[in-house]
Structure 1
């Protein structure tokens, strides 16, 4: 049983029985998770309690004493055609996207940068994974999320690890993307409803041109086999003095080859969230093995709980490179 609470001013109201359907969702490229629901409301039916659900009200969703979502009402929609108020909420990650700041960091680790930014904006932190990699970067008018994600992206080039930024309740967590302890097995005949796999080259990069800071060409890093099959699709990166961006160029090639988009619908499980993993066993599409969750949608409707997951063979992170090297 999922319990929902809404807090208006100093009053907390249990709206569990007034919510007809709800959707809880997230994406590895979005720091903020979303909760949307339809709240019963009627100007004529006195049996339906009146709940304001003001903009900025705190909404909490709980399952068996575990807080799944804690966020704020950002949108409300009412219509004379029905007896509901449609509500859209975001968790605290929305403030990481909506606040901008300027910083100059010299020889600071991503974990130190994260703690400094969070302290300045009154954001409470939970797990902030340590990398030990020191970076120097100037940020001018960048979002808090982009600052933190850029720091961890630069560290990931050296650690070869992937990182995920998200809130758990009121705490910001930056964790390593890895196989989770609660990885669920999803297979046909039990909890899998359907699966779709799509191959695409629409986002392919098969050659990367490396230039210096004065836009003078240095060299190409390329995949001759993919160029021959699909034609040239080139990206560009600028290499600072004293650096070798060959590994970064190769990573661009590795992460942007033939893309396989996998979408599954399955019986709901709260463990299936972006940044986590699932094991899929489905013979018709040939899906067997461990997959990383890129996005997740959880829907409760008419007593039925379902998931829609977008999966990836590869462990990828939301790479950001805003700001500039100090001069």
Structure 2
């Protein structure tokens, strides 16, 4: 009954999705016993083990013979679509994560430990995912360690992004179909001015090599309680954005936030790259994937003024 399955994710989207194309032949008696899919039903995708568990967001039906597409979101979705109000005092990101997950009834697995106490963080009707990532963004500004939320074994996990390297190599000689590369300086920040709470400049971080090469692109940072300002400002420095898109034989470990090694002689690409987004397709018994890669690991930062 399933013609095609697409499974995808993006480091800035949090929730992974699955789109399933189902045969639709309402007047064919041979198709009368196909399962009926309803809004709120759950979907499990199995590739040796379960790689996705989510809920159908809505359904559609029509009388045309062909296919109907059903879309499901994983169990991160409640964190994205539920809001809460909190006034956190002297708690770590990991303590905040466990607290809000308990409030919404979300089971947790591994929650990355930072040991960073947040003196104060006020959340006024923020979605639960943003609350978690705001807390971990504050830790990132102190430690420089990047974090991401993911669903594993139907539980929420928060992991260090640098840990997600599986030793996967994609090469044109083995499993790589196509490679394209693009670069842009639109995202460059090579000077960050540091301000106190009254708007007075108290410091500055500069990337002299970048300024000489590209000209000056300036950002700003306002000091936050409990965060070393020079470290936080340094983390705002950004290099030119380089994007690498590839199509290859599918591998379920190639998910947004993970890293892969790519070797392609035509584009002279060779090295470790981080997956920004992934789209896996199963059709006619073949598993392929499209990956958008980054030359530098990034985090889905969520900042707060309070």
The TM-score, its normalising length taken from structure 2, stands at 0.93
User: 1:50: Cα distance to partner?
Assistant: 3.8
Contact kept, 8 Å, 1:78 with 1:84, in 2: the verdict is no
User: 1:323: Cα distance to partner?
Assistant: 5.3
Aligned to 1:204, the other structure's residue is in SS state: coil
Matches within 5 A, 1:119-130: 119-130=102-113
Contact kept, 8 Å, 1:213 with 1:241, in 2: the verdict is no
Give CA deviations for 1:97-136 in whole Å, capped at 9, x if unaligned.
1111111111111111111100111000111121111112
Greater shift in the superposed pair: 171-180 or 241-250: 241-250
Matched residues in 2 for 1:31 and 1:241: separation? 27
Matched, 1:86 2:69: yes
Matches within 5 A, 1:199-210: 199-210=183-194
Contact kept, 8 Å, 2:192 with 2:233, in 1: the verdict is yes
Q: Which of residues 254, 257, 275 is equivalent to 1:293?
A: 275
Matched residues in 1 for 2:225 and 2:40: separation? 48
Greater shift in the superposed pair: 49-58 or 24-33: 49-58
User: 1:142: Cα distance to partner?
Assistant: 1.1
Judging changes above 3 Å, is the alpha-carbon distance between structure 1 residues 285 and 57 closer, same or farther for their aligned structure 2 residues? same
User: 1:228: Cα distance to partner?
Assistant: 4.2
Aligned to 1:277: 259
CA RMSD of aligned residues (A): 1.9
Greater shift in the superposed pair: 171-180 or 22-31: 171-180
Greater shift in the superposed pair: 200-209 or 220-229: 220-229
Contact kept, 8 Å, 2:56 with 2:73, in 1: the verdict is yes
Matched, 1:267 2:278: no
Matched residues in 2 for 1:181 and 1:108: separation? 30
Aligned to 2:156: 172
Contact kept, 8 Å, 1:147 with 1:322, in 2: the verdict is no
Matched residues in 1 for 2:224 and 2:159: separation? 29
Aligned to 1:216: 200
Contact kept, 8 Å, 2:38 with 2:58, in 1: the verdict is no
Contact kept, 8 Å, 1:183 with 1:276, in 2: the verdict is no
Matched residues in 1 for 2:227 and 2:286: separation? 54
Structure 2, unpaired ranges of 5+: none
How many equivalent residue pairs?
A: 304
User: 1:166: Cα distance to partner?
Assistant: 1.0
Matched, 1:237 2:221: yes
Aligned to 2:231, the other structure's residue is in SS state: helix
Matched residues in 1 for 2:217 and 2:148: separation? 29
Matched residues in 2 for 1:178 and 1:300: separation? 29
User: 1:312: Cα distance to partner?
Assistant: 1.8
Aligned to 1:100: 83
Give CA deviations for 1:255-307 in whole Å, capped at 9, x if unaligned.
x2211101111100111111211111112212112222121110111222101
Matched residues in 1 for 2:99 and 2:59: separation? 34
Matched residues in 1 for 2:254 and 2:226: separation? 43
Aligned to 1:54: 38
4+ aligned runs moved over 4 Å, structure 1: 241-244
Aligned to 2:162, the other structure's residue is in SS state: coil
Judging changes above 3 Å, is the alpha-carbon distance between structure 1 residues 290 and 228 closer, same or farther for their aligned structure 2 residues? closer
Matched, 1:23 2:25: no
Structure 1, unpaired ranges of 5+: 1-17
Contact kept, 8 Å, 2:141 with 2:227, in 1: the verdict is no
Aligned to 1:148, the other structure's residue is in SS state: helix
Matched residues in 1 for 2:17 and 2:222: separation? 36
Contact kept, 8 Å, 1:201 with 1:257, in 2: the verdict is yes
